[in-house]
Each structure stands twice: as structure tokens, then as C-alpha cells.
Chains A and B, each alone.
Chain A
Amino acid sequence: MKYRLTALLLCCPILTAHAENSKVHEHIFGNGLKILVKEDRRAPVVVSQVWYKVGSSYEPGGITGISHMLEHMMFKGTKLYPAGEFSRIIAENGGQENAFTGNDYTAYFQTMEKSRLEISFKLEADRMRNLDLKAEELVKELQVVTEERRMRTDDQPRAKTQEQFNSVAFSNSPYKNPVIGWPSDIANYKVEDLNAWYQQWYAPNNATLVVVGDVDAEQVIKLAEQYFAGLKPSDIKPLKPQDEIEQKGVRKLTVKAPAKLPYIMMGYKVPVLKTVTQESEAYALEVLAAILDGGNSARLPTHLVRGKEIAVSVGAGYDLTSRLPDLFLLEATPAEGHTVFDMEYALLDEVYQLKSELVSKEELQRIKAQVLAKDVYQKDSNFYQAMELGMLETVGVGWQKADDYLSKLNQVTAEQVRAVAQKYLIEDNLTIAYLDPQPITEAPRPAKMIGGHHAF
């Protein structure tokens, strides 16, 4: 196990002009459903993903986490296929399936042997409009989600810190809420709430169907037409903007939790591809994140884990593909004998370097080489190719941006990197969270073994 967090470049968009140019076929049905198909004949498999334009950043107060709750309920059956049938049918057809919810999307996917794509379409089309939400199923699934929250957040000191951090960093942007929702909201969902949410967002004109694999694009579009084209569209009302108010001054918070290691998170408010006035700024921020944390040769591991040896883990992250303005993140775990304040000083010093000096030609070249390579590596997986298209489309920048990524990143100059550092990495935009470890009071007791143990 390598104890080093790497930047979560959840979506490293890729250019499809490099290895072999596989075209994306786009079609929009009369009911507004958009389908994207990419042929990739490396293996006789196909991935099919349905992306809905809804996620935690769409949620009003009082029902945070409801997109995620609905994602769980989507497995609880329709009139045609009662609870459990969906998963049973997919499994018996050799398929793998799952779903995920983020700030800006909810997506469902199946990976199947290529001849079984129709099964996936049939089932997904059915649950797009015919979900049968039952109170007794909600009662049980609510408990499951509550357990999920305990596992992911309540018992995880760092996740708790991150949750609090987001809620302080953002004043009124919906990014202040956790994807899984606040506990009291989770406890009080009603079937009516879920039904209303389902009716409001689950419609062909609010969805993108993405298919990547060993298929013929024309045939896939025909097949999709058969199952999806007859579904009724909904009247999708535009979201209220909820523009984050301007931050004027650094914000700091401390989170106490039973833990063994301290931890610090820092975040600067930054634009993203969707919101930025000059696109090159978003790509420059992407390069900036890679300068700091793009591999073992990047600045943070080189200077802080090695070099000064004051950190045991470091990370930087930037989500180019968020729907709303987001945070440029820095995080670190101090090494023995160092504090989170030492980390803060060291990270601010790294930021200062970026503002005052141009990054070297070698660094820029290395990052471009890495991006070029990642572009090829990513094609090893149908799933990630589909995920990239679905995400770009769902956050509203358009799947075509995948084709620009490599060339746009290649155009980023050292001056542009310095300029975005100077413009956005400023104290007035900064939020800092410290995890303050509390003693784990109930120390593990010696083992109580019952009876003699092993035969020798």
C-alpha cells in the first residue's frame, strides 16, 4: 500500500485523435433523449450507461441526498419488473451493473457481452418512466443508506472533515451539501418526496444514453429507438442559479474526531470549464494541479514528502468538469514531529512559488507527455471512455470537449499557469480545515479467545 493520496482526476478527458480515431455517433430522438455511441472492437463486450441531469447540487434544503436515495430506489422495481428482477435479469445475462450519484449527475450502467445490449435497453427504458415506489421498500432502503452514511462519513475522520470543509467553503452554492445528504434529511424522506423528484428529473429529455463497445453504431441507435423513443418527455424546469456569493477573506475551521493522524485541507474558489469566461484558464488550472500532484515527480511529493520530508501524504485536485464553480484543493498529512500548521505554511509556500516564478519547460513537457499517455491508457477501458462522454454531456459542456482536451492542454503556457495562480489562488478565496485528532478512548482490548485454538 502506498500511503500517498493522488489527485482525484476523476475525469481526465481525452482526445480521440491519437491512437485510433474512433468517432462518436450522436443522435437525438424526438422525445429529447440524446444517444452517444462509440465503436470499440477490442473485446466482444459493451457498456451502456444512462446519465440523468440531476445530483446533489440540484437539491433544495430539507431533502439533501434525495438524488442518491432515488438511485437506491431505482433498483426496487417497476410494475413490469418487481423488486429484485432488474438485478436478477442482468446477472443471469452475465452482466455487471451498478449506479453512482455525484454533485451533478446520477448514472446507471451495465456491462454485458455484446449480444445482450438489448436487455439493458429494455430494462433501463422501463425504469426511466415506470418506477414503482413503495413505502415499505423505502423504509428498508432508508436504513441501508443510513448505514452507508455511517460507513462512508460518520466513522471516517477525514470524510467528516471534508464534509464540514465543503459546508464552510461554500456559503450558498449547493456544493455545500454532501452527496449522501445530511442525517436529518435522510431520516425524513417520504415516498412522496422521492416520487416528486423522480417525476421531475427522470425523463428522456433529461437523460443521455452512452454506449461504448463492440457494436455497430447504426444498429445501436435503431435498437435504442425501439425502446426509448416512445417514452414521454417531461417539462424540465430550469434550475435556479444559486450563484455562490463572493468570498472576502480566509475561512478556517477545525473538526475534532477520534483519529490517529492530523490532516489539513485547503481549497480556493475557482471557475470550471462550464463557468469560466476564458476557457484557457480552466485548462491552465488543470495543468497547475498536475504541476503539484501529477505523479511522483510532481512538486508536492518531490518537495514535501521527499525533500523537506515534512508530509506523509499530499494531494492537489481540480475538477475541470464540475457544473458550478468549484474548489482547487490541496491536502496533506504531516509527518511525525510536524503539525498541520507546518503543512499550511509549506502548501502556501508552494502556491507562492507558482505565483512568483514561471514553471519550467521540463515540467510542462512532462505533464504533456503524461496527458498524452493517459489518453492512450484510458482507451484500455470502455467504461471510462463512456464515463467521460456521459459526464461532459451531463454537466452541460458537451461531449465534444473530449476531443479538445489534449490540444487545449498542449497549448497551455507557463505564463498562463502563473496567471491563474495569481488570479485565483488568493487568500480571500481560501478555506482551510484542520482535523484535530481526539484520543480513541476505547482502546482495543487484548483478544478474548474462546477455548483452545489451533491443533499442532
Chain B
Amino acid sequence: MRFKLLGLLLLTISQLGWATVKIEHWQTTQGGRVYYVYTPTLPMTDIRLTFDAGSARDDTKFGLAALTASLLGNSSGEWTTDEVANRFESVGATFSNGVSEDMAWLSLRTLTDKTLLDKALATFQEVVSHPAFNSVDFQREKNLTLAALKHREESPAALASIAFHKALYNNHPYAHPEEGVVQTVSSFEVDDLKNFYRKYYVSANATVVIVGDLSRTQAEQIAQTLLNGLPVGEKPAEIPLVTMPTQSSSQHIDFPSTQTHVLAGLPGTYRKDPDYFALYVGNYILGGGSLVSKLFDEVREKRGLAYSASSQFAPLYRQGPFTIGLQTRNDQAAKAIEVMNTTLSNFISNGPSDAELKAAKQNITGGFAMRIDTNSKLTDYVTMIGFYQQPLDYLETFSSKVDAITTADIKDAFQRRVRPELLQTITVGGK
């Protein structure tokens, strides 16, 4: 909104050798999985409910999962949308919702003072279990989504991302944008949303994450109560396997911008991938360690070709995208792509040096504490661990798994998993 603050890229990488987060796990009587961490230092709590109901569940109705989630928080039970908003905010609680490819989530952050907590929770419960799906709310949320889809078309970065996912995933459920496309969203009826909600928002498909100043007994009660209003239902079928592209492709989209946005990559890694740590640590060296990576160094520091140049693996239930991204003045795009491709292929052929690996490990393990130093970050982590059913000691073993990676592991994993001959490249920009 306000253009007052300029920074370099904000880092998202971090980590240390300190991990005593105790994650407790149990199931509610309806089969919902609960993950709880007691953090008593501040009188607040985060409660996040996730369902296997992300955009991968859209089938042919692209955007249905996202629109369904966006209706939650509108009129619920006997309360109108205005009343729901008022009930949350009158006690200082914040409610939010959203979807990713794999999950739909509903989040509540509230103070734990009893009066405030009770009102926030009562509201949250109605929002989760008795959404009205009335036609006024539906039409409005649909219109907001359609406006957002239109807005997307003025962004070369957004257009690049849409084309990139399509190139990587073809007909797989990960191929379409989470928020959908105009053709599908305009055709939705309120019954589509009701049916989606009934099928996927069930306790067998739910994960509850509670982080904060609540006792175990309170957490048990809250989780149980939250899911009481939902049918037991059943878990949906597994998301289909990803088919890798068989050869590389390049696609250019003309756009009247001064920069060309470049995205290159292929389906990468998944949450329970045995290669995950080798790819993760390797990628820190290639393009993840934001101010010290090879891509940053080659594209930005040595040549001044772009403001940002980075790569990342986004692990999902199935292989999420491995993405290299940069944006540069239109007439430099070819040069930047050449530097990007050379940097990538050199890294794949040669792997990292011992010194590079050592530096990467020092950063990742030496900064581990910063991964989980706030309730917000902890909630994100525990959500990941719970939703993808990772081991409960995931955080405790994280650093030792990173430390165990060798240069040979990285080279081997990259050679098998990131094959330049399959790379999909998208460019969006002007002449």
C-alpha cells in the first residue's frame, strides 16, 4: 500500500542447535488429529484448523477450494458477516483463512483471558461448523475473487507464475492457480461450495494446531469442541502422482512492462522425500541463501542484472515446484537467462565444494533458533508437521539431518532430481 519502506529481500532462511519444542499429539473422539505446544510466556494463543481441502481438490472447478474457504468467516449460525467480524474484533482476536495447493486453513489468534477467549472460540466454532453460505455473501465473495483474477492480469509476475505451473504440471491438480480462473469461477453456484464444504470439511480430514498459553486440558477441550460440530466423514483419496515433463520447453508471453520476469524449473521435492534434506541444503548454496547464494552472486553481485535472483523448493504432498526466478530489463533477459542456466548446470555437474557445504550447514543449523522463536513461526511449523504427518521430533532431528548431508549427497540428488534437459522456462515481458 504505502511505498515508504525499501529493503533488500527479506530473508526467510534461518536456524540453530537448540530445540526443545515439545509437540504433544492426540486424536479427538471424531478422529481429528491435534498438535499442541505449550508456550506460556505471553497471554495469547494461536489456533489453526487445516483440512486436506486445498486447490488440488478442485477437480475441474478451478478456484472452488479457495472460494469455499473465503466464505468461512462470513455469516455463520445466527450471526451475519458483520456480527462475526464484530465478535472477533471486539475481543481483539484476529481471524484469517486461506488455501494452498494441499490445504485449506482457518486461523484464530486470541488473548487467553477467559472472557475474551470464550467469545473468540464460540465465534470460531460457528464459523467452522455452521457457515450459512447465503447468496449475498456468496455473490460478494465471488465478485471479490473475480476482481482479484482481473487484477492478476496486470502483473507480469502473476502471469508468469500461472504459465509456469501449467508448464510443470500439465493436467495434474497442481497445474492451475489456487484462486482459479475467470471461466470456472464465474460459473460457480452456491451449491458447488456447499457440496465441497460437506465433503472435505469433516473431522476425519481435520488437523488442529494449538500453540500458546493454554493448558493441555484446555487444548483438549477446545479441539474436541471445535470438531464436534462437524460430521466425521472420511479422508479424500490421495492426490495423484506427478508426471514429470518429458522435455524442456520455453514460452514467452508479451507484456508491456519494462522488465522481463523469468521463471524456470520443474516439479521438485515433496514433504516425505528421502532426498529432501540434500536438495534443501544444496539449494541454500545454489539460490536459497539469499545474500550469499551462487545465483545471487552471479546474477546480481557480479553483473547487476537483477534486484532479486533466487531458487527454491516448495515441498508439497507430491512434488511441489522447484523454481528459479529473476526479473531484468527486457533487453537483458537473454543474457540473464544464460547466466542462470550456466550457474544451474555448473552446480548440477560439479556439486558444491566442501567450503560451500560447511558454510551452508553453519547458517542452517547455527540459525535454527530463529525458525521457532515466535508463536507465529511455531504455528506454521507445527501445522506443516501435523498436516503432512511428519515425525513429532522433526524439529529436534532437523539439525542433525542437515549436518549428515555430504557434498556427494547433494550432487547425486541434484543430478537425479533437477535435470536441465527437462527445465520449463517462462518469460513475460516486453521487447
A93, B243: Cβ atoms closer than 8 Å: no
A373, B93: Cβ atoms closer than 8 Å: yes
B5, A447: Cβ atoms closer than 8 Å: no
- Using a CB-CB cutoff of 8 Å, which residues 289-306 of chain B contact chain A? 289, 291-292, 297, 300-306
Is B166 an interface residue when CB atoms closer than 8 A count as contact?
yes
A150, B6: Cβ atoms closer than 8 Å: no
Cα distance A445–B255 in the bound complex, in angstroms: 10
Q: Identify which of B338-346, B361-369, B389-397, B404-412 touches chain A.
A: B361-369
Take A19-B42, A450-B250 as given contacts and tell me if A144 and B304 are in contact as well, using a CB distance cutoff of 8 Å: yes
Residues of the B chain whose Cβ atoms lie less than 8 Å from the Cβ of A261: 147, 150-151, 154
Could you give, for residues 299-341 of chain A, a 1 whenever the CB lies within 8 Å of some chain B CB and a 0 otherwise? 0011001100100110101010000000001010101100000
Q: Who on chain B is nearest to A72 by CB?
A: B8
A258, B256: Cβ atoms closer than 8 Å: yes
B148, A1: Cβ atoms closer than 8 Å: yes
**B8 partner, pick from A99, A312, A452, beta carbons under 8 A:** A99
A95, B367: Cβ atoms closer than 8 Å: yes
Is B111 an interface residue when CB atoms closer than 8 A count as contact?
yes
- Using a CB-CB cutoff of 8 Å, which residues 351-409 of chain A contact chain B? 362, 365-366, 369-374, 376-377, 379-382
Cα distance A281–B8 in the bound complex, in angstroms: 35
Residues of B in contact with A, size category:
35 or more
B6, A180: Cβ atoms closer than 8 Å: yes
B153, A336: Cβ atoms closer than 8 Å: no
B11, A98: Cβ atoms closer than 8 Å: yes
Q: Who on chain B is nearest to A7 by CB?
A: B1
**A98 partner, pick from B7, B73, B243, B248, beta carbons under 8 A:** B7
Cα distance A140–B42 in the bound complex, in angstroms: 46
Is A455 an interface residue when CB atoms closer than 8 A count as contact?
yes
Is A68 an interface residue when CB atoms closer than 8 A count as contact?
yes
Residues of the B chain whose Cβ atoms lie less than 8 Å from the Cβ of A258: 154, 256
Residues of the B chain whose Cβ atoms lie less than 8 Å from the Cβ of A163: 3
A336, B304: Cβ atoms closer than 8 Å: no
Q: Who on chain B is nearest to A450 by CB?
A: B249
Cα distance A51–B302 in the bound complex, in angstroms: 28
Cα distance A99–B10 in the bound complex, in angstroms: 9
- CB B33 to nearest CB in A, in angstroms, measures 25
Could you give, for residues 16-43 of chain A, a 1 whenever the CB lies within 8 Å of some chain B CB and a 0 otherwise? 0001100000000000000000000011
Residues of the A chain whose Cβ atoms lie less than 8 Å from the Cβ of B247: 450-453
Cα distance A336–B151 in the bound complex, in angstroms: 12
**B44 partner, pick from A88, A112, A365, A376, beta carbons under 8 A:** A376
**A317 partner, pick from B1, B73, B369, beta carbons under 8 A:** B1
Residues of the A chain whose Cβ atoms lie less than 8 Å from the Cβ of B178: 1
Residues of the A chain whose Cβ atoms lie less than 8 Å from the Cβ of B289: 91
Is A233 an interface residue when CB atoms closer than 8 A count as contact?
no
Could you give, for residues 139-165 of chain A, a 1 whenever the CB lies within 8 Å of some chain B CB and a 0 otherwise? 111111111101111110101001100
Is B272 an interface residue when CB atoms closer than 8 A count as contact?
no
Cα distance A455–B6 in the bound complex, in angstroms: 45
Cα distance A116–B312 in the bound complex, in angstroms: 27
B145, A3: Cβ atoms closer than 8 Å: yes
Is A111 an interface residue when CB atoms closer than 8 A count as contact?
yes
**A453 partner, pick from B156, B246, B376, beta carbons under 8 A:** B246
Residues of the A chain whose Cβ atoms lie less than 8 Å from the Cβ of B370: 45, 94, 96, 111, 113
Cα distance A451–B89 in the bound complex, in angstroms: 55
Residues of the B chain whose Cβ atoms lie less than 8 Å from the Cβ of A7: 1
Could you give, for residues 179-201 of chain B, a 1 whenever the CB lies within 8 Å of some chain A CB and a 0 otherwise? 10000000000000000000000
Is B122 an interface residue when CB atoms closer than 8 A count as contact?
no
B257, A155: Cβ atoms closer than 8 Å: yes
B143, A312: Cβ atoms closer than 8 Å: yes
Is B15 an interface residue when CB atoms closer than 8 A count as contact?
yes
Q: Identify which of B22-30, B80-88, B223-231, B315-323 touches chain A.
A: B80-88
B254, A444: Cβ atoms closer than 8 Å: yes
Take A95-B367, A147-B328, A442-B256 as given contacts and tell me if A297 and B85 are in contact as well, using a CB distance cutoff of 8 Å: yes
B9, A43: Cβ atoms closer than 8 Å: no
**B244 partner, pick from A112, A369, A455, beta carbons under 8 A:** A455
B5, A94: Cβ atoms closer than 8 Å: no
B369, A44: Cβ atoms closer than 8 Å: yes
Q: Who on chain B is nearest to A447 by CB?
A: B251
A373, B146: Cβ atoms closer than 8 Å: no
Residues of the B chain whose Cβ atoms lie less than 8 Å from the Cβ of A366: 86, 89-90
Is B16 an interface residue when CB atoms closer than 8 A count as contact?
yes
Q: Who on chain A is nearest to B156 by CB?
A: A155
- CB A117 to nearest CB in B, in angstroms, measures 13
- CB A342 to nearest CB in B, in angstroms, measures 15
Residues of the B chain whose Cβ atoms lie less than 8 Å from the Cβ of A179: 3-6
Cα distance A87–B140 in the bound complex, in angstroms: 48
- Using a CB-CB cutoff of 8 Å, which residues 55-96 of chain A contact chain B? 68, 71-72, 75, 83-84, 87-88, 91-96
Is B416 an interface residue when CB atoms closer than 8 A count as contact?
no
A453, B245: Cβ atoms closer than 8 Å: yes
- CB B151 to nearest CB in A, in angstroms, measures 5
Cα distance A81–B321 in the bound complex, in angstroms: 37
Take A87-B292, A450-B249 as given contacts and tell me if A152 and B363 are in contact as well, using a CB distance cutoff of 8 Å: no
Could you give, for residues 113-153 of chain A, a 1 whenever the CB lies within 8 Å of some chain B CB and a 0 otherwise? 11010000000000000000000000111111111101111
Residues of the A chain whose Cβ atoms lie less than 8 Å from the Cβ of B373: 42-43, 45, 382
- Using a CB-CB cutoff of 8 Å, which residues 163-179 of chain B contact chain A? 163, 166-167, 170-171, 178-179
- CB B117 to nearest CB in A, in angstroms, measures 11
Residues of the B chain whose Cβ atoms lie less than 8 Å from the Cβ of A452: 246-247
Is A196 an interface residue when CB atoms closer than 8 A count as contact?
no
Is B91 an interface residue when CB atoms closer than 8 A count as contact?
yes
B367, A450: Cβ atoms closer than 8 Å: no
Residues of the A chain whose Cβ atoms lie less than 8 Å from the Cβ of B246: 452-455
Cα distance A445–B159 in the bound complex, in angstroms: 12
Is A441 an interface residue when CB atoms closer than 8 A count as contact?
yes
Cα distance A20–B41 in the bound complex, in angstroms: 9
Is B14 an interface residue when CB atoms closer than 8 A count as contact?
yes
Cα distance A313–B148 in the bound complex, in angstroms: 10
Is A296 an interface residue when CB atoms closer than 8 A count as contact?
yes
Is A259 an interface residue when CB atoms closer than 8 A count as contact?
yes
Residues of the A chain whose Cβ atoms lie less than 8 Å from the Cβ of B372: 43
Q: Identify which of A100-108, A198-206, A420-428 touches chain B.
A: A100-108
Is B236 an interface residue when CB atoms closer than 8 A count as contact?
no
- CB B112 to nearest CB in A, in angstroms, measures 9
B329, A150: Cβ atoms closer than 8 Å: yes
Can you report 22 residue pairs joining A to B where beta carbons are below 8 Å apart?
A42-B41, A42-B373, A94-B365, A98-B11, A102-B5, A111-B14, A141-B304, A144-B304, A145-B307, A154-B259, A261-B154, A309-B143, A312-B147, A366-B89, A376-B43, A380-B376, A444-B253, A445-B253, A447-B251, A451-B249, A453-B249, A454-B171
5 additional A-B residue pairs with CB within 8 Å, beyond A93-B363, A94-B368, A443-B254: A7-B1, A19-B43, A144-B304, A294-B89, A366-B86
B residues with CB within 8 A of A: 1-11, 13-16, 18, 39, 41-44, 66, 70, 73, 81-82, 85-86, 88-96, 98, 109-111, 116, 140, 143-148, 150-151, 153-154, 156, 159, 163, 166-167, 170-171, 178-179, 243-259, 289, 291-292, 297, 300-308, 327-329, 359, 362-370, 372-376, 428, 430
A residues with CB within 8 A of B: 1-8, 10, 19-20, 42-45, 68, 71-72, 75, 83-84, 87-88, 91-103, 111-114, 116, 139-148, 150-155, 157, 159, 162-163, 178-180, 258-261, 294-297, 301-302, 305-306, 309, 312-313, 315, 317, 319, 329, 331, 333, 335-336, 362, 365-366, 369-374, 376-377, 379-382, 437, 440-445, 447-456
